[in-house]
């Protein structure tokens, strides 16, 4: 299908952050607009730290329909939106802004995107599951918050820096922390194991690193578990390769990437997101 021409009627959405030129979001969202034949376009706008409030004012001035927000602006946008979702209030981080009349409404779609991807790809609901989340950064925090809201029975947080794990675990009433010397046992006791650290990112098959590329002690993996990795570059991380070799159910990071974008797309356009087209756009860019 030929790309729609951009006209005076075209509605605009954008990702803001720094760096942002490498972002996959324009490809994902423009593929979605094209699949639904919507007269919308999505671009990347570099905005440095400290520029969040000005970017929101510009969104209102220019009548942009939606913003995705990436590093380093998620915290300042969370503080500057007119209305914050429960997730934004809990996390102090916003990755999606929606224009609702005169008001700019902030959402955080990362956690729900993860839960949707996990459910879709594993065929299992998180309801009633015990989950080990390894990592306590921005993505882990969003995942812990969403797991807590969607019925996980228990969450154990494992992180290199213990006090960060404690702050992340405070986001969900069912979450506790495991110290390094209890990590193997705690992970082995869970139904679902999630790598939410950046370990494994950029890994090249056959490259150097070895155990340094594995965020999770392999002794913690056991049959019956679902193993998810939110790192999406490469598509198959060392952790996912190890889990697959053990015949465990695996969930890669692309699903979260696509679903968090799909939730934003639906907020902006009011239309069900064309997930297959959005996923195909990512597949063209990542191997």
Rounded Cα distance between 40 and 245, Å, is 43
Minimum CB separation from ligand NAP for residue 3, in Å?
26
Question: Is residue 197 part of the contact set for ligand NAP (CB under 6 A)?
Answer: yes
In sequence order, the 6+-apart residues with CB closer than 8 A to the CB of 68 are 13, 14, 15, 16, 25, 29, 95, 96, 261, 264
Whole-number Cα distances in Å, 195 to 58, 185, 239: 36, 16, 8
Query: Looking at 18-26, 32-40, 118-126, 198-206, which segment touches ligand NAP (CB under 6 A)?
Result: 198-206
| Pairing assessment for the beta strands 40-46 and 66-69 based on DSSP bridges | unpaired
Helix (H, G, I), strand (E, B) or coil at 111: helix
CB of 82 or CB of 242, closer to ligand NAP: 242
200 half-sphere exposure, CB direction, 13 A CA radius: 26
Nearer to ligand NAP, 139 or 146 (CB): 139
Answer for which of 140, 158, 192, 226 binds ligand NAP (CB under 6 A) is 140
Q: Is 23 in the site for ligand NAP (CB under 6 A)?
A: no
**CB of residue 110 to ligand NAP, shortest distance in Å:** 5
Is 209 among the residues that bind ligand NAP (CB under 6 A)? no
Quick check: 283 binds ligand NAP (CB under 6 A)? no
Write the CB contacts of 15 (distance below 8 Å, at least 6 apart in sequence): 23, 25, 26, 42, 43, 44, 45, 67, 68, 69, 70
To the nearest whole angstrom, how small is the minimum distance from the Cβ of residue 189 to ligand NAP?
21
How far apart are alpha carbons 32 and 277 in whole angstroms? 6
Nearer to ligand NAP, 99 or 156 (CB): 156
Residue 138 found at the interface with ligand NAP (CB under 6 A): yes
256 binds ligand NAP (CB under 6 A): yes
- Residue 230 touches ligand NAP, criterion: CB under 6 A: yes
SS3 content of the chain, % helix, strand, coil (to 5): 40, 20, 40
Helix axes 25-35 and 253-269, enclosed angle (nearest 10): 60
Which residue of 10, 198, 222, 283 would you call a contact of ligand NAP, by CB under 6 A? 198
Q: Which is nearer to ligand NAP, 116 or 260 (CB)?
A: 260
What is the total residue count of the chain?
A: 287
Q: Indicate whether 146 belongs to the interface with ligand NAP (CB under 6 A).
A: no
How many residues touch ligand NAP (CB under 6 A)?
23
The binding site for ligand NAP (CB under 6 A) comprises 110, 135-140, 159-161, 164, 197-199, 201, 215, 230-232, 253, 256-257, 260
């Amino acid at each position: 299908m030929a790309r729609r021409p951009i006209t005076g009627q075209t509605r605009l959405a954008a990702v803001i952050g720094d760096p942002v030129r490498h972002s996959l979001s324009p490809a994902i969202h423009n593929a979605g607009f094209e699949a639904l034949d919507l007269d919308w376009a999505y671009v990347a706008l570099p905005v440095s730290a400290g520029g969040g409030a000005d970017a929101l004012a510009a969104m209102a001035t220019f009548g942009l329909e939606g913003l995705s927000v990436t590093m380093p602006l998620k915290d300042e946008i969370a503080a500057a939106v007119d209305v914050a979702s429960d997730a934004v209030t809990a996390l102090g981080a916003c990755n999606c802004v929606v224009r609702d009349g005169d008001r700019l409404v902030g959402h955080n779609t990362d956690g729900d995107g993860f839960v949707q991807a996990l459910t879709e790809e594993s065929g299992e609901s998180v309801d009633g599951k015990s989950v080990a989340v390894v990592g306590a950064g921005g993505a882990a925090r969003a995942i812990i918050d969403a797991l807590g809201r969607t019925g996980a029975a228990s969450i154990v947080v494992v992180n290199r820096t213990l006090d960060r794990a404690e702050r992340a675990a405070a986001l969900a009433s069912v979450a506790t922390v495991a110290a390094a010397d209890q990590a193997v046992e705690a992970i082995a006791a869970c139904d679902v194991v999630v790598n939410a650290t950046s370990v494994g990112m950029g890994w090249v098959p056959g490259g150097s690193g070895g155990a340094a590329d594995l965020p999770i002690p392999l002794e913690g993996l056991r049959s019956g578990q679902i193993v998810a990795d939110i790192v999406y570059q490469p598509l198959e991380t060392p952790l996912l390769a190890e889990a697959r070799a053990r015949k465990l159910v695996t969930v890669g990071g692309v699903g979260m990437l696509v679903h968090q974008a799909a939730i934003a797309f639906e907020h902006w356009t009011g239309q069900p997101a064309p997930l297959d087209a959005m996923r195909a756009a990512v597949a063209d860019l990542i191997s």
